[in-house]
């Protein structure tokens, strides 16, 4: 197999991101790899050629190697991973979804490699038990599973046949220097979208997708009984990639039917999403799929924006209701409408105080450096080298 990029060098931490998407999960992996590089520790990312992740690696200066999309026992993936283990001798391999466990275990058997494999698990321990003999073997050979919420950790301990000592919860962290309240960013974002400086803006970032509740939130704000229906100053903004070509047009058409054509805005995906959040007054997500931990909600809080999110999964651990943000019942449009009305009815000073409390909570409990300290301590406990040479 001919590589369009150089092979692994310097015994790196190898991050497996073999997906066509670029969601919060993949962005976390890219940020983590970049952090290690900034610490002068070698790191590399493996992802499909020509994809969004490969482009981000080039933009961020992260070494990259090609890897096809992983589907359990795909022989191409097994061969490629075996090549990484044999020729690159990474000091550790990190995966983010459980399907990486299968081909990597096969590659380790083929190469007789003892390279530690860590699963930074972000998806919720699945919906099926994994206590059969095969998974007992697979999990026995994992160095650690690192969920980012107690909710996920508890599901793993309940559903997986794994040594509890290998399950280490480390909550996600935010770079509070990049993600911060910023009046200049607020003004620039609104100016670029043509929003009035005094508008009340409800925003959302990430994929514009039915499962992310894009239509649900639109209906909750501007549909019958919605708190934005008769408020000419209220605007809804989505920033991200549409689920499929034409989906954005469908949302615009529905906004027009609801009489909110001039108050609904779609903006494209941006690398500098930290410049987006300060332009919001509320961050809202109406996700209908199973969601375990929404990184975007933490980002909004770090930027001093009040979140409105469903009371589900690990999101329940992010803040205290009515102190740093608002929860509503998951998959309950009526409760979403009620909570949005409550949040939007707050006087400006009360909402600003809540936004400041959200920022303070992130600084106290979810700062990126404190998170990295926990990961580095885990690496040391697993005897993974943290020197440049990897000795």
Q: Tens of pLDDT along 53-64?
A: 999 999 999 999
What is the number of structural domains in the chain?
A: 2
Question: If you average pLDDT over residues 43-72, what whole number do you get?
Answer: 94
Q: So what's the pLDDT on residue 6?
A: 56
Q: Please check the confidence at residue 16 and state whether its pLDDT lies above 90.
A: yes
Q: So what's the pLDDT on residue 122?
A: 77
Q: Please answer whether residues 67 and 46 qualify as being in contact, where contact means their C-beta atoms are separated by less than 8 angstroms.
A: yes
Q: So what's the pLDDT on residue 334?
A: 98
CA distance linking residue 21 with residue 27, whole number of Å: 10
Q: Please check the confidence at residue 1 and state whether its pLDDT lies above 50.
A: no
CA distance linking residue 52 with residue 357, whole number of Å: 35
DSSP-derived letter for residue 45 is E
CA distance linking residue 252 with residue 260, whole number of Å: 9
Name residue 50's beta-bridge partners.
none
Q: Please check the confidence at residue 127 and state whether its pLDDT lies above 80.
A: no
Q: So what's the pLDDT on residue 3?
A: 45
Same-domain check for residues 150 and 202: no
Q: Please answer whether residues 16 and 80 qualify as being in contact, where contact means their C-beta atoms are separated by less than 8 angstroms.
A: no
Instruction: Estimate the crossing angle of helix 24-38 against helix 52-60, to 10 degrees.
Output: 30
Q: What pLDDT band is residue 126 in, cutting at 50, 70 and 90?
A: low
Same-domain check for residues 192 and 151: no
Same-domain check for residues 162 and 195: no
Q: Please check the confidence at residue 74 and state whether its pLDDT lies above 70.
A: yes
Q: Locate 280 and state its tokens.
A: 């919001």
Q: What pLDDT band is residue 7 in, cutting at 50, 70 and 90?
A: confident
Question: If you average pLDDT over residues 317-346, what whole number do you get?
Answer: 97
Question: If you average pLDDT over residues 173-197, what whole number do you get?
Answer: 96
Indicate whether 390 belongs to any domain: no
State percent of the chain over pLDDT 90: 85
Q: Locate 108 and state its tokens.
A: 């380790």
> Would the CA dihedral through 249, 239, 38, 369 be positive or negative?
negative
Give the predicted TM-score (pTM) of the model. 0.91
Question: If you average pLDDT over residues 39-53, what whole number do you get?
Answer: 96
Q: Which helix (H) or strand (E) is 41 found in, with range?
A: none
Q: Please check the confidence at residue 193 and state whether its pLDDT lies above 90.
A: yes
* 10 φψ region: left (φ > 0), alpha (ψ -120 to 50), beta (else): left
Q: Which helix (H) or strand (E) is 55 found in, with range?
A: helix 52-60
- Return the residue matching tokens 């108050």: 263
Same-domain check for residues 82 and 144: yes
Question: If you average pLDDT over residues 3-28, what whole number do you get?
Answer: 83
What CATH number corresponds to the domain at position 104? 3.40.50.2000
Same-domain check for residues 78 and 214: no
Q: So what's the pLDDT on residue 125?
A: 62
Instruction: Estimate the crossing angle of helix 295-302 against helix 348-365, to 10 degrees.
Output: 110
Q: So what's the pLDDT on residue 178?
A: 95
CA distance linking residue 16 with residue 118, whole number of Å: 10
Say which residue, 123 or 133, is predicted with more confidence.
133
Enclosing domain of residue 36: 13-173+368-381
Indicate whether 1 belongs to any domain: no
Q: Please check the confidence at residue 134 and state whether its pLDDT lies above 80.
A: yes
Q: What is the pLDDT of residues 267-305, one digit of tens each?
A: 998 889 999 999 999 999 999 987 888 899 999 999 999
Q: So what's the pLDDT on residue 2?
A: 45
Selection from 337, 308, 352, 348 nearest residue 228 by Cα: 337
Indicate whether 331 belongs to any domain: yes
Same-domain check for residues 361 and 372: no
State percent of the chain over pLDDT 70: 97
Same-domain check for residues 296 and 347: yes
Q: So what's the pLDDT on residue 4?
A: 45
Say which residue, 5 or 71, is predicted with more confidence.
71
Indicate whether 169 belongs to any domain: yes
Same-domain check for residues 169 and 264: no
Averaged pLDDT score across all residues of the chain? 94
Q: Which helix (H) or strand (E) is 234 found in, with range?
A: strand 234-239
């Amino acid at each position: 197999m001919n590589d369009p990029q150089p092979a692994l060098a310097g015994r790196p931490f190898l991050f497996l991101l073999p997906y066509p998407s670029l969601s919060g999960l993949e962005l976390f992996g890219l940020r983590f790899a970049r952090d290690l590089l900034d610490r002068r520790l070698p790191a590399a990312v493996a992802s499909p050629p020509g994809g969004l992740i490969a482009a981000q690696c080039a933009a961020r200066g992260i070494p990259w190697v090609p890897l096809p999309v992983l589907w359990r026992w795909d022989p191409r993936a097994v061969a490629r991973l075996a090549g990484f283990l044999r020729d690159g001798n990474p000091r550790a391999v990190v995966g983010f979804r459980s399907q990486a466990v299968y081909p990597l275990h096969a590659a380790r058997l083929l190469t007789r490699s003892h390279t530690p494999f860590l699963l930074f698990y972000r998806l919720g321990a699945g919906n099926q038990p994994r206590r059969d003999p095969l998974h007992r073997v697979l999990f026995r050979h994992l160095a650690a599973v690192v969920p980012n919420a107690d909710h996920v950790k508890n599901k793993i301990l309940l559903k997986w046949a794994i040594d509890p000592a290998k399950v280490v919860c480390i909550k996600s962290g935010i770079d509070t220097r990049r993600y911060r309240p910023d009046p200049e960013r607020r003004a620039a974002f609104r100016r670029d979208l043509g929003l009035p400086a005094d508008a009340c803006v409800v925003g959302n970032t990430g994929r514009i997708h039915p499962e992310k509740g894009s239509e649900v939130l639109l209906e909750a704000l501007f549909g019958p009984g919605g708190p934005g229906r008769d408020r000419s100053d209220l605007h809804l903004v989505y920033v991200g990639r549409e689920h499929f070509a034409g989906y954005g047009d469908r949302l615009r058409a529905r906004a027009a039917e609801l009489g909110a054509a001039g108050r609904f805005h779609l903006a494209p995906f941006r690398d500098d999403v930290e410049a987006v959040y300060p332009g919001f007054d509320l961050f809202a997500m109406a996700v209908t799929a199973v969601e375990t931990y929404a990184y975007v909600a933490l980002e909004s809080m770090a930027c001093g924006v009040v979140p409105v999110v469903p009371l589900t999964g690990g999101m329940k651990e992010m803040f205290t209701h009515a102190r740093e943000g608002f929860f509503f019942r998951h998959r309950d449009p009526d409760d979403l409408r009620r909570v949005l009305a409550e949040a939007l009815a707050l006087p400006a000073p009360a909402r600003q105080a809540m936004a400041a409390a959200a920022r303070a909570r992130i600084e106290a409990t979810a700062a990126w450096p404190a998170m990295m300290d926990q990961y580095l301590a885990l690496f040391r406990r697993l005897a993974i080298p943290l020197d440049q040479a990897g000795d």
